[in-house]
Amino acid sequence: MECPQNAVIALGLVSLVFDLFRGKKLKGNTTQDEGTCMVLVASLSANMWLGCLFILVDFGQIEVHRVAWQGLGLGLALAGLALRFGAMLQLGSSFTWELQRGEASALKTNGLFRWVRHPSYSGGLVAGTGLLLGLGNVIPVCLFLLTHSIAVARRIGVEERLLRRYHGDAFDAYAVRTGALTPFPALEEAIVSRLARFTHIAATAARINDALAAAAGLPPLPPGVPQLSALPLFGNMRERLANPIELVTRARRELGDIGVFRAGPLPFVLLHAPRDVESFLQARTCDFTRGLGFEVLRPVLGDGLFTCPEDIWKPQRRLAQSSLQMKQVQASVPHWTSVAFNWTRRWTQNEGKARGAVVVDMKREASCLALEGYFRTQIGLHLPEEYESIAKATDILKSNAHKRLHAFFLRSEMWPTPSNLALRREKRYLNRLCETLLARAHEAPQGSFLAVHAAALAQGHEAVPHKRRFHEQLITFLITGHETVAATLAFGVQLLAFHPDAQARLHSECNASNVPELPTAADLSRLPFLSATVKEWLRLFPAAWLISKQATQDVSIGRFSFAKGTVFATVPFAVHRDDRFWSEPQRFKPERFLQGEPTERFAWFPFGAGPRACIGAAFATLELEVLLFHLVRAWSFAPVEPSPVPPEFSVTLKPLGSLPIRCERRSRDA
């Protein structure tokens, strides 16, 4: 690290210590008319610091041997932020404490000097600048200084007007009426005073965000639509990244069934009531197209069915549907049975080596199991040596897609960042795999996904006019065809492990004397608790946890009329857990589907609805039923950890980290 950067950080530390000691000697007053920029600037600064850290980590500019300097820089930033908030709450305007001390010459003091001297300014400014310079990124420094200087300049102007208005006896009378505060006692009164002006701050932030959304081409929101309070520029991104479901739940609680949250400055109209979800997904499908995020994902996934433009979506969907007809879906049952037996045999061998129950990472096992099943049923080939590599590649693609969806500034995929380099490497691998599959397409059974698309490519079909489109479509279905099933299966086995009563009931039904050992699709349809269990899995852990679309024309939903271009979203994960539609919504209770729940049609929609519903819904449901049938007949499951593994809200829902489960072989007469 260069010497000037060391000096800046040292200066920031000295300035903070100096201001802390000076602050103890000051007395001040709070006023109801002070400028509102301080809260906004403090929030902007905190977000800027953390955002810069994330950017630099992604660029690989933060190295292990610089951890000490990073810790010092972050400590300075947090200390500066705390000092500024404390000064804001306790000291108020810089001029109030100057006048309290009888310094009438404050009117003539240079404004910049007062700004630097005041604890609410100098600590945060120097600490923030020192941190950013210490990390060696010049652009965020410039952005920070620009936004900070503009806001502080406005606050100085407000204080000048206050001073002139309340100078002398009038000012003293006003100070007595509003209550004088020493630097540290009576914080509660100061906080209440500031909260009284929060509505004005929120309105200012909303105006800033509305202007930025308009600059991005989004229409204004209708008057009266309720909105969550949001930071200017950053919106509700911090809450969305930390816990998106808590954000959605808060929006439902505070705003009702229709409300607005912001991803950055961009507004998303959140729909929660089943009647609005039905209008959004099914009744008025011609009024909506896919949301903004799909364009962001195209550099990662290309023009496959999930992200392709509207003009080629219908041809691609029709071609893909030809390999997912109900006849092909039902004919896949023996293949899934074979896959289940293979994995049962593998676990049995591991159990023998372990001399007892075997502990497996169900997240990893379910991923490889679903991949093998997809290859056997839809590709028509068996490539056991490739499944681990494919699972790794698809994880990296999804991770990169997740970063792009939540990035504040979109970076080109051509930049040589570590994540982009990993993305290119795995895409090259998947493209080579697609070439191998295309060369072996003649081995695929007729009607399979590979055979259908290879034939369409040879004929120049509009859905796959060239190899690149063939690769993108195949990669898209490799990801969506196995990842969502794998995540649901992993979560489902975990639910059974933590609910032995439901597991015992399910085993009893699947092991009944009148149920064949190798059931067909018709046999499985006569097992109601098996079907109810899979539905309950999909209720609690829908892979498509969020669905977003954009209006193609003016639409009316509820009591509001929204302009063309408005972005809407609904969250199945939250609707599926709403106590208005479900009894004991947080509890794993498969029998609810045998008792008439839910009463609302669109209180359960794990695959979406309408023309854009998941194309493989029937395939995935039957696949889960076959795998569950064979696994629960042969194995019992028990948890390893004392509490369940929580979900990660990525592009799709998946377990956060590994998911260890203890599997024990059942005796044949069990």
Q: Which residues contact 561 (CB under 8 A, 6 or more apart)?
A: 222, 554, 555
Among the residue ranges 37-46, 146-155, 244-253, the one predicted with the least confidence is 37-46
Average pLDDT over residues 36-51: 40
Axis crossing angle, helix 418-439 with helix 387-406, rounded to the nearest 10:
140
Q: How confident is the model at residue 273 (pLDDT cuts 50, 70, 90)?
A: very high
Q: Which residues contact 190 (CB under 8 A, 6 or more apart)?
A: 30, 89, 90, 181
Question: Does 268 have pLDDT greater than 50?
Answer: yes
One-letter-per-residue 3-state SS of 267-301: EEEEECCHHHHHHHHHHCHHHEEECCHHHHHHHHH
pTM exceeds 0.85: no
Q: pLDDT digits over 147-162, tens only?
A: 555 555 555 444 444 4
Closest CA to 531 of 626, 663, 397: 626
Among the residue ranges 7-16, 58-67, 104-113, 583-592, the one predicted with the least confidence is 104-113
Give exposure, 235-251, as e/b (b: 16+ Cβ within 10 Å).
bbbebbeeebbebbbbb
Question: Does 192 have pLDDT greater than 50?
Answer: no
What's the pLDDT score for residue 425? 92
What's the pLDDT score for residue 233? 75
Q: What percent of the chain has pLDDT over 70?
A: 67
Q: pLDDT digits over 283-322, tens only?
A: 777 788 887 777 778 878 888 888 888 788 889 999 998 8
Rounded to the nearest integer, the mean pLDDT of the chain is 75
Q: pLDDT digits over 211-245, tens only?
A: 878 877 889 999 889 998 887 777 888 788 778 99
Residue 263 DSSP class: E
Average pLDDT over residues 618-638: 92
Task: Report the range out of 254-258, 360-364, 493-497 with the highest average pLDDT.
Answer: 493-497
Among the residue ranges 262-266, 297-301, 424-428, 631-635, the one predicted with the least confidence is 297-301
Is residue 451 within 8 Å of residue 380, measured between CB atoms?
yes
What's the pLDDT score for residue 329? 84
Give the CA angle between residues 122, 126, 131 to the nearest 5°. Answer: 150
How far, in Å, CA of 8 to CA of 132, rounded? 10
> What are all long-range contacts of 507-513, with beta carbons under 8 Å and residues at least 24 apart?
507/632, 507/633, 507/636, 507/666, 507/670, 510/629, 510/632, 510/633, 511/633, 511/670
Q: How confident is the model at residue 43 (pLDDT cuts 50, 70, 90)?
A: very low
What's the pLDDT score for residue 266? 86
What's the pLDDT score for residue 111? 38
Average pLDDT over residues 47-67: 43
At 172 the three-state DSSP class reads helix
What's the pLDDT score for residue 356? 63
Question: Does 607 have pLDDT greater than 80?
Answer: yes
Q: What percent of the chain has pLDDT over 90?
A: 31
Distance from chain centroid for Cα 419: 18
Q: pLDDT digits over 445-469, tens only?
A: 888 899 999 999 999 888 888 899 9
Q: What are phi and psi of 584, to 5 degrees?
A: 45, 65
Q: How confident is the model at residue 55 (pLDDT cuts 50, 70, 90)?
A: very low
How far, in Å, CA of 260 to CA of 267, rounded? 6
Name beta bridge partners: 359: 662
Average pLDDT over residues 627-644: 92
